[in-house]
Structure 1
Amino acid sequence: MDIILFSSLARWSGIKMMRTCSVPLYPHSKTVYQIDSVTIDVVDRGSVFTFILVHGHCSNKHAIFFDAIFENSPHNVVRFDSPGQGDAMGVYSLSYMDEVEVLSSVLDHLRECIQGWSLNCTALVGHSRGSNVSLLYVQRLILRGPKLSELPYVVVVSGRFDLSGTLTSQLTPEEVLQLENGNEFTKTFPGCRCPLTITPAFISERKRLQMGDACQALSQADKLVVIHGTNDRAVPPGESSLMTQFYSEDEKASRLRLVDGATHNWKYKLEEGYSAFCELVEKLLSAHRKD
């Protein structure tokens, strides 16, 4: 897997990629690419499959579940920080579609610069908000009319199907009233480096966005798996059943896994969670290797 970094990241990040030399990563090697003040970590293990890790709200590429995948997966892994999160400069956006643009730019870059890289041999592994960003990216692809077999795999980790109340649930009644009156304000969220500006547009976006089309298409292509902890207090475990509602009951048994006692950030039951992740994903990929 040879990589040359010279294209532009999403305009939302305000960051340009710097050109580097082509570096052969295979076999079993890790490389960190410095892109101005943003880093994209790549580990190439010589697999035909690549995992793209998409982190959640006020999080970063070093979320503990992602560290487990990055260090232990037998497949190639790419991880990055969204603008304003982790190591990345820029301003973090509460807009899901801004995050979709960032993911799209990363994937476009991989397509341009990595020889042999293919979207249909790629799994977008999204945690929490990152799973919605991944599904919305797939939804955008569907509008372009590709074959279902050309879609990436999506692994939803602790994801939410219904976005309509996601932001308001983190606000006080007074703050919600401000938004209803058309006002904006700043608020500090746990895990974020700086206060974020909240506008009525963010609430409208969450009410408008739907996960159903992407989940249905991925289920038809058998390219969706979901893992969730039963002790998740941030996203109700029942959301996972909504993600997999387009699978038959028999299919759900091998595409959905609830990990007993696991929390939203997987601080507890990480080993069990990662084991379940590996089992789900390998069953999925094995089914497609036979095709």
Structure 2
Amino acid sequence: MIDDGAGVLAHVVDDPAATVPTVSLNSGRSIPQLGFGVFRVPPEDTERLVSEALEAGYRHIDTAAIYRNEVGVGRAIAASGIPRDELFVTTKLFNDAQGEQRAPAAFEGSLDALGMDYVDLYLIHWPAPQFDLYVETWRVLEQFAADGRARSIGVSNFLPHHLERLLARADVVPAVNQIEMHPILQQQAAAEFCHAHGIAVEAWSPLGAGQLPLFGLPPIARIAEEVGRTPAQVVLRWHVQRDTIVIPKSSAPERMRENARIFDFSLTAEQMAAITALERGGRTGFHPDEWH
């Protein structure tokens, strides 16, 4: 770990040119701004890919119970030899385990699968308003935070109206809201609400998905040529300059390293504005009010 000169710790990814700063959370903890996501990584491939990500320098791993690959994440971490306190591990509670009756057992199941006695961040995966259990579930997560088994707690896929209802009943403000976010879907209202309430914003699918040809869009391709970087690096840099945490996924070690090399260059205000102008509400995942 190194100090970036502003009192923020960062770690080196792959080489000294690529340092990952941390974002301070309202829990008093900090989270690396770049992580490695394992959404849709098959369980049989997870240990290998997470091991490769750790070898590439990643220290922030994001999984979830519904991904069915927590075991592989835990095995890779155990085999890495990296001290646990140098890693940041996130997992999530899925919809079918919401509520005070089911959430404790689901959390224990995730800890067992990971082979850990605590996680750095535990999230409610979706609000699932049809069940009307996310406020009740949050009170259970507050207990996990109080006993130290979840160092920070947060939510995922929550929109402002979900957060408003939660905050009206919460003793602990969520540390993070992890939402789908990329140049085609920027969720400005959700991001502004989170920033106003001290909630860090984390982007899942930060590079979009297959049906969104982000990298071929003229502004991104042009800017990549201007700065001598790949389109993926340009999009990830756009995120971090907007104070967003990113968790890209890759199955290739060279791409993992490429995705990490986003902290040794900057985009100009004009380049940032050109990417921001791509917004068109292009959601690739479910709408949080509909997915249950």
Please give the TM-score of this superposition, normalised by the length of structure 1: 0.34
Greater relative contact order (CA < 8 Å, ≥ 6 in sequence)? 2
